[in-house]
Structure formats: structure tokens, C-alpha cells
Amino acid sequence: MDAEAKNGEGKDRRRYPRVKANVSVEVHTTENAPPSRVSIVEISLCGCYIETMFTMAVGEKAFLTLWLNEQSIRTTAVIATRHPQVGNGFEFIDMSPEDRLRLSEFIHKISSETHNP
């Protein structure tokens, strides 16, 4: 067994697969703060990756509004990864069942389009 396999590096730790997507999102650092408007580049049922020059620290909380086909989905997220001047990985920690269902349907639709053009 090589060192990479032994310590788990290189292994995908995600609970759900990510799909490439261009989704508009508003990021609030507090519930009442003005939003930063950016785009998601990858998304899954449990999180997303946002490219931004102005990254947040791992562990910080954020409030996100995702815009999926003119419908908004709200979630609270925690910063899971930080790549300075590149972007942040967000883990969704609080989303209503209705919004999670809409997100699931959106991901399924774009996955199908990607695999069956």
C-alpha cells in the first residue's frame, strides 16, 4: 500500500458527487449584511465551490441565496476550504427540505444534460 492510499489522500471524501454549474449566488457574512454577488462553479447536495478573489476563513459561517432557474434557495453554510485569491468551498448546514428537493432536482437535471447532450 502506498503512502497516499494509507493516509486517505487522493480519495474523494464527498458524500454526494459535485457537478459543474454556473449558478448565481448571494453571499452574506451576517444575516443583515449586504450580499456579495458571485457564481458557483461546482455544486452538490451538501455544498458548493465559489471562485472569488476575496476568500473567507475556514470555519466561518455564511448565509447563501442560490438562484436556480429564477427560484431562490436559502441555506446557511460553513466555509470548508479556502484557496486564497481563488475561492472557497462551502458546506451547506441548514436548508429546508423543500429547498433541498429543488436543489436535488436541479443537480439531477444538469447532470442528465451533461451526460446526454
**pLDDT tens digits for range 29-79:** 988 889 999 999 999 999 999 999 999 999 999 999 999 988 999 999 999
**Which grid cell is 25?**
449566488
Among 8-17, 79-88, 105-114, the least confident range: 8-17
Q: What is the mean pLDDT of residues 23-29?
A: 94
Among 13-17, 22-26, 55-59, 63-67, the least confident range: 13-17
Sign of the four-CA dihedral 74, 76, 82, 85 = positive
Average pLDDT score over the chain: 86
With residue 7 as reference, give the H or E element that holds it: helix 3-7
Q: Which CATH class is domain 14-115?
A: mainly beta
pTM: 0.82
Question: 3 or 38, which is more confident?
Answer: 38
Secondary structure of residue 110 in the 3-state scheme? helix
User: Are 17 and 42 in contact, with CB atoms under 8 Å apart?
Assistant: no
- 31 alpha carbon, distance to own chain's centre: 18
Among 68, 24, 18, smallest CA distance to 45 is for 18
